[in-house]
Structure formats: C-alpha cells, structure tokens
Structure 1
Amino acid sequence: MSGSERFLLVGSLLRPDELQTYNREIESRDDITYPFYDDLEGYAETEGKAVSEVVNKQIEAGIPEVTDGEFQRSIWHLDFVWGLDGVERSIGDSGWKFQNDTDGFEEGTFETRKDIDVKVVATLHSNNHTFIDHYKRVSEEAGDHSVKLTIPSPAQIYNEFVRSMSDENGYSNDVYPTTDDLGEGLVQAWKEFVDEYTAVGGEVLQFDDCTWALFSKDNPIGYYTQDGATDETVKAHAEKLVSLNNAVVDYAHEKGLTVYTHNCRGNYGSRYAMGGSYEHVANYFLANQNYDRFYLEWDDDRAGNLVALEAFKDKPETEVVIGFLSSKKSGLADKEAVLAELEEAAKYIPKDKLYLSHQCGFASCDGGNDLTHEQQWNKIKQGQGIAQAFWGE
C-alpha cells in the first residue's frame, strides 16, 4: 500500500535488538558521559546503522516526514537536556510512576527506569548540541525527503527541573535562584539550539510536551489536587508555561522554522501516566500557543469530548493531528470507529487542516511499547489505509 499525506508519525519507533543492548547499559550507569559514544565501544556504529535503516524504512513506507525513530536517544526528552551545557545527569532513587491498568486508574502502580535525575549546575547553553549531529545524519540519509526533529518543550523541562531541584522547603538552585530566572535560562538555551538547527538547514522542529494534562480538573494527580491549589494559582502557572513555549516558538518562526507540538499523558511500556481531558486546558494549550501544528492524544476517553477543538476556531491556518489510533496496543483499530471519529473532528477542524496519527510514538523511551516490530508496521499501514479512505487519496 502506498503512503498517505494525511497519516503522520509522532516520532519514535521500536528499536532493534542490537541497539537495545547498549540502551540497557546506559540505563544502569551514571559513570558515563552523554552522548556515551566514547564510553561504549561499537555504540556509535550500531546506532548509525539502525538510523540509516529506519529512515529508509519510513521513506519506503510512504511516511511524509521522517525522523530517526528517536533511535539516537534513550528517553524522549532527557537526552536533549543532557546535551545542554550546565546539566548534571544521575540515577535517582526512584523512577516515574505509571499506571499498570490501562482500563482504570490507580496512582503509582508501575515504576519506570531511574536514570532520570537532572540538575542545573552551571548556566544553560546549547553549544554544539549532539542533536545537531543527529539531525544531520537523518537529513543526509533522507535526501530530498522531509525531515522533522523532535525535542522537549521548554515548559516540559521547566517542570522537570523545578521538580528535581525542589524539596520540602521548595525550589532551590545556586545558578538560577528563582524559577523566573530558570525560565529565562531555558528560553535562552532553546533559542541557541534554534540558531544551531537553522544553521545546518533544519526546517521543522517538534516540541513534545506532557505538561498540559496536569492542569485538568479531572486529572487525579493534577495540580488541582495539590494543597492550596486555586483557579488563580493554576491559571498563573499555565500562563507561565505558555509564555515559555511561545517565547521560543515565536523566535523559531522569526528564524524561518515550522514548529509543531505533540501532547500526550505519558507513554511507557504501553502504560500511561495520568488522566486529564482537553476541555479543561483548551484555552491555554490549544488556543494560546503559537504552534503551526498540534499532535493530540485522543485514543481513549481520558481525552474528553472533541468539543475542545473549538479552541482552534480563531486559528484557521493551524493544523491538527488527532491521535485516534493507539501505539500502546498490539492489535489493529476498529476502522469504522476511527472513520466516525474523524467525521466528528471535521465538524471543528477543516478537513484540509486535519491529519491522523497514533496518540504517541511507539517507543517514547528506548524500551518501547508491548508489541512487535511487525505489529508496529501493520498498525502504521492500517493508519495509512484509514487516512486514504477518509480523505479520498
């Protein structure tokens, strides 16, 4: 089956076994230095071969915009942070908490990998960032084919840093004494990366961002469940994150980049992190951020009603990619149900601005979701077929 211009990939794909051998060693060691190539013999060569193969696999499959499958990183967002000057990586005492039961919610039933602790130890800078070499490798392999690079949003990392540098007494850091200082430092580092990216011909940048469900009143572990939370305090924090993201997005636009965002509620080994519907955050996340394209997770009831898409009514040029398909499940989707969902979404988003995807990538962290490579590509093929049926390609 040929590809579809209306079916898109979020970014990550399942890693091959030979690359996973190195991934597991990286996960267990904090005596090695990012990007780890000098510490692990054969890692760079194995990674390069895997990237070449996955780029060509996507092109052959008819994917409109290709990535490296995120093969050149361990964790969807932290490798980018490790590549900044001024950051210290370490293995923590605990990992993130995800949900074992995909049909219900019980906080903290599954603990992830623990090499997730990050701390700011010097002024943040993007200086010869490793992701620039990653992009160049993919671009050279892809030739004339469109390439996008995925990185975390500054808002995502702002939240990560505040969490990792806070204790019972609150936030504390010698380099950035206040959270406002931290936000300014992050924006500056992201702008420096934008400069590096455009200098080597980068055209499309995607900011991955899992923060927004935390602002939903129906999220069992969101900000509204914290002591002392009010509409005013939550709104102020949301506006802070919007301003951080928009500062970089607007700068990237000035430099000629097209900028996307992807949002989900966590994706780790076919598990999710939290609930939280879009209706409660639409006026912040959807209406007020200046992205050219939004990838939205909508593969189950946690996302809420599609009426949240009304937030785009005053943004006629914005493209919306709806993740009605699930990368967490090994089986194929109900085609007719997805077509019906697309019809409903088209009531809010013009059909020529609408796209289909899975709710997230297949391997946000290098361990990947619980399915085989064959099942992954079968799900991609089905997505292309559904898109062809809906858009009449």
Structure 2
Amino acid sequence: MSKVTTPCRYDFVGSFLRPQRLKDAKADFANGKISQTELDLIVNDEITKVVNKQKELGFHVITDGEFRRTFWHLDFMWGFEGVAHEATGNGVAFDAELAVLDDTYLVGKIKAKAHPFVEYYKFLKQFEDENTVAKYTIPAPAQTFQQMIVPANYETTRKFYSTNEELIEDIANAYKDVINQFYEAGCRNLQFDDCTWGAIVGDAAKQRYALLGIDIEEVKKQLLEVNNRSLEGKPEDMVITSHICRGNYHSTFFASGSYDSVADYVFAKENVDSLFLEYDDERSGGFEPLEKVSKDKKVVLGLITTKTPELEDKETIINRIHEAAKYIPLDRLCLSPQCGFASCEIGNKLTEEQQWDKLRLVKEIAEKVWGE
C-alpha cells in the first residue's frame, strides 16, 4: 500500500475533461449502438490513460478523473437507498447559464448499501505505487443534506423526515457505512467535495435564506453537524479532506463571497484533515479568514483557475502564496487548481492540453516555493 498521503505539496481536486472517445462511447451506449460491456472497456481504457498522464506529469495523487459519472455529486447520491432521480431538463441557475442536472429526490429513508463508487475505487487502486496514492472524491454529507432540503425537494423530504435532525442522522449513518466500505477496499485518502459552504457566503445567500424565512446561522450549524457526525469514528489512518467550491459548471460559477462568514464553522470546527480552498479570483475574498483554520489542518490554496485556459503568472501566484502565509504557516500550505476541470461531463472551456499545462504550472510553482 502506498505511503503517500494527501494533500501533496502540488495537488489537484479530481475531475478531468472527458476525452472525445469517452463522450462518443457514452452517446453510442445511450443510443443502443454498443453494449454495457463495450462501454465499460472503453471507460476503463480512458481511465488508465488519464492515470498514466497524472503519473507522467509527476503528481503523487491519482484519480479516475470522475470519468464514470455524469455529475460530480448526484451520481454518488443515487448509490443510497431511498434516493431516486430523473432527467427533466431542470437545473440550477449559474452566473452565465443553466447548469442542467437530474432532479434528485427522496423516495424513502436514506440508507447505505453496497455503493458502486467503492467498486470504481477498486479499479483505480490497482494503479497505486510507492510514489502515488489513489484519492477518491465524493460529495460531502452536507451536499446530500442540502440537496434534500432545497425548496424543490422540501415537501417530498418531509414525507419521510419530519425534522432536519432526523435527516441529518440518517445521512451521517449512511456516510459512516460508505466510508467504512471505502476503507475495507483499501482507500486511505477520501475527499469530500462541498459547495454548501461556498453557496452560503456573501450577501446573496443572506437574502435568499431571509426570503425563505430560514436563519442562516442555523443552516451553518446543520452543515457542520452533518459533516462532523459523518466523520465520527473514522479510521485513524484514513485521511479525509474537503474541497470547498462556489460552483464550477462549463466555466461558470454559482456564488461569490469571502470565507469570513463561514470560517468560524468550517475552518475552525470541521473535523477533516485538510481544506482545498477556492482562491482563483476576487470572488473568494482575502486570506484573512485563514487565521481561523484549526492547527490540525493543512490548507491547499486553489490559486490556479480551471475556468479559463490562460496560464497564470508564476511570480503573481508565488506572491499570493506568501501573502496567505501571513495567516497560516507556509509549511501547512499546498497548491492546486481551484476546482476540477470537469465537475460535470460538459467540462470547462479549455482543451485537454491546456488542462495539463495548468497542472504543469502548479507543480513548477510548488517546487519553487517549497523545494519539493
């Protein structure tokens, strides 16, 4: 088993642009032109290629690029009992366009079962070696909680859960089960992807919750509770990190706002080992909230954007790293892109080669700053 642990000094979030061959194969399968077996062979081959590329670039973490899923978060939720979905053409309004997502809702109580993502992880794990560790990404428990209490799902959820506390309990128990499934499969590095904290920052969030008659501070407490309860009893030798995002769909974003209003919760009190933080533009605010990060956590600065192909200026990024180090020691900092390159199958607006150029830049800067 690999002794590498995440986060690495130069790292990445997890998703990669889907190769055209993979897109074509999924379309052919949907149209009945190829079988499930034929599709699986192509998916496996493309995952093998993307893992080899990560290794070729010299990264110490490997992922499957999220090639098996359509959406970064919803596909995982479908692996629980009590969750159903339907493609209706609905979605969430992002800054520049509608993010088209499957309606995902409850049809019963949430319970864990043998989760398909664990089998996906097993395929990835075979590529681990002494220099690399297989990291798997799943939506945070708070993301699943939030999905079930959005206005469109609220009445349906109340058919099965009379209170949010009951819902939180079942989600936490289901996640504990799945975390254990990953552990038994050999996973020692798991990443929660969490847009809930990014969606609750800023004045727009305050106004949105005020219109719903909901106390935003109570929402923050519940997000923290469901995440931390899910982490209770996790194996000591399993690293679980969290990536916080403000939305990443086809190079657009969902929310803007600094971390100040959530730092006392997620930075100070969430029981993850490290935080991957979006910091690629002014929408994320300043580094001052990093003072709130508990001393047992590392922070991965997402200073390189995945939303545009232009390469950042090295010295500018180096200066920003040292600016962040005024609030948290440099030896507790790492560097990565701010998000994945394809949170959903549609991907962001850059080419595969431009994607790899971004990762080369991350590695070059990290080696210059930390010498490793």
TM-score by length of 2: 0.91
User: Does the CA contact (< 8 Å) of 1:119 and 1:165 recur in 2?
Assistant: no
Corresponding residue number in structure 2 for 1:105:
none
Detail structure 1 runs of 4+ shifted over 6 Å in the superposition. Answer: none
User: Does the CA contact (< 8 Å) of 1:219 and 1:274 recur in 2?
Assistant: no
Distance in 1 between the 2:28 and 2:99 partners?
Answer: 15
Residue number among 124, 127, 131 corresponding to 2:117 in the alignment: 131
Corresponding residue number in structure 1 for 2:245:
264
User: Does the CA contact (< 8 Å) of 1:325 and 1:383 recur in 2?
Assistant: yes
| Residue 270 (structure 2) pairs with residue 301 (structure 1) | no
Change (3 A) 1:362 1:172: closer
Residue number among 225, 229, 247 corresponding to 2:208 in the alignment: 225
Letter of the 1:189 counterpart: A
CA offsets per residue over residues 31-69 of structure 1, 9 Å max, x none? x9xxxxx97462211111111111121112111111111
Distance in 2 between the 1:319 and 1:25 partners?
Answer: 43
Residue number among 321, 324, 332 corresponding to 2:303 in the alignment: 324
| Residue 10 (structure 2) pairs with residue 14 (structure 1) | no
What SS does the aligned partner of 2:340 have? coil
| Residue 348 (structure 2) pairs with residue 386 (structure 1) | no
User: Does the CA contact (< 8 Å) of 2:47 and 2:65 recur in 1?
Assistant: yes
Q: Show the 5 A alignment for 1:39-78.
A: 40=36, 42-78=38-74
Letter of the 2:125 counterpart: S
Letter of the 2:18 counterpart: R
What SS does the aligned partner of 1:141 have? coil
TM-score by length of 1: 0.87
Letter of the 2:65 counterpart: G
| Residue 221 (structure 2) pairs with residue 239 (structure 1) | yes
| Residue 95 (structure 2) pairs with residue 99 (structure 1) | yes
Corresponding residue number in structure 2 for 1:366:
345
The number of aligned residues is 364
Deviation at 1:277, TM superposition (A): 1.1
| Residue 126 (structure 2) pairs with residue 140 (structure 1) | yes
Instruction: Indicate the percent of aligned positions where both proteins have the same amino acid.
Output: 35
Deviation at 1:25, TM superposition (A): 7.2
Structure 2: which 5+ residue stretches go unaligned?
Answer: 1-6
Distance in 2 between the 1:173 and 1:50 partners?
Answer: 42
Distance in 1 between the 2:264 and 2:330 partners?
Answer: 22
Corresponding residue number in structure 2 for 1:276:
257
Structure 1: which 5+ residue stretches go unaligned?
Answer: 33-37, 101-109
Letter of the 1:361 counterpart: G
Corresponding residue number in structure 2 for 1:35:
none
Distance in 1 between the 2:211 and 2:310 partners?
Answer: 43
Deviation at 1:308, TM superposition (A): 0.8
Distance in 2 between the 1:86 and 1:215 partners?
Answer: 27
Deviation at 1:22, TM superposition (A): 4.4
Corresponding residue number in structure 1 for 2:271:
290
- Greater Cα shift, 175-184 or 334-343: 175-184
What SS does the aligned partner of 1:259 have? strand
